[in-house]
């Protein structure tokens, strides 16, 4: 089953004034994601019904453009673009609302290590 997201779920009937809940389902299980505003803060909580479902926590530094990968690795932008087409095991990108392709830093790091390429020094502690 293709993963499914339900924005008008039953759980919203039980949410607070400054809270919005969405439900997700797939063959591996499902759960709820709650978005809650407390003052100036936005709190995002994930409730997973199946322990085999992984919830990733990401910040802005965890997503990279091809140009950022090139800069960090010392490769040219053309070389990095070539990696995305030539190597089927190169990480799959995410696409943001503006249509920019973004790559998870940890996946790029794992690929660099697995292929024997030099890992940027600032990524050694990741």
What is the tens place of the pLDDT at every residue in 42-71?
888 877 777 777 776 667 678 899 999 999
Please tell me whether residues 69 and 111 are part of one structural domain.
yes
39 falls within a domain: yes
CA distances from 59 to 56, 62, 63, 64, 66 (A): 10, 5, 7, 11, 17
Please tell me whether residues 37 and 74 are part of one structural domain.
no
Q: Is residue 93 over pLDDT 80?
A: yes
- The structure's pTM equals 0.60
Domain span at 95: 60-117
Please tell me whether residues 99 and 73 are part of one structural domain.
yes
Please tell me whether residues 32 and 77 are part of one structural domain.
no
The pLDDT tens digits of the residues spanning 101-115 come to 889 888 999 999 999
126 falls within a domain: no
122 falls within a domain: no
DSSP string, 62-122: GEE-HHHHHHHHT--HHHHHHHHHH-TTSPPPEE-TTS-EEEEHHHHHHHHHHTTPPPPGG
């Amino acid at each position: 089953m293709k993963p499914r997201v339900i924005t008008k779920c039953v759980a919203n009937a039980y949410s607070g004034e400054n809270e919005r809940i969405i439900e997700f389902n797939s063959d591996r299980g499902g759960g709820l994601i709650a978005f809650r505003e407390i003052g100036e803060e936005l709190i995002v909580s994930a409730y997973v019904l199946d322990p085999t479902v992984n919830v990733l926590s990401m910040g802005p530094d965890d997503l990279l453009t091809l140009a950022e990968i090139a800069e960090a690795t010392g490769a040219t932008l053309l070389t990095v673009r070539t990696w995305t087409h030539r190597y089927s095991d190169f990480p799959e990108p995410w696409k943001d609302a503006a249509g920019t392709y973004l790559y998870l830093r940890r996946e790029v790091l794992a690929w660099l290590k697995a292929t024997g390429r030099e890992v940027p020094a600032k990524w050694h502690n990741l």
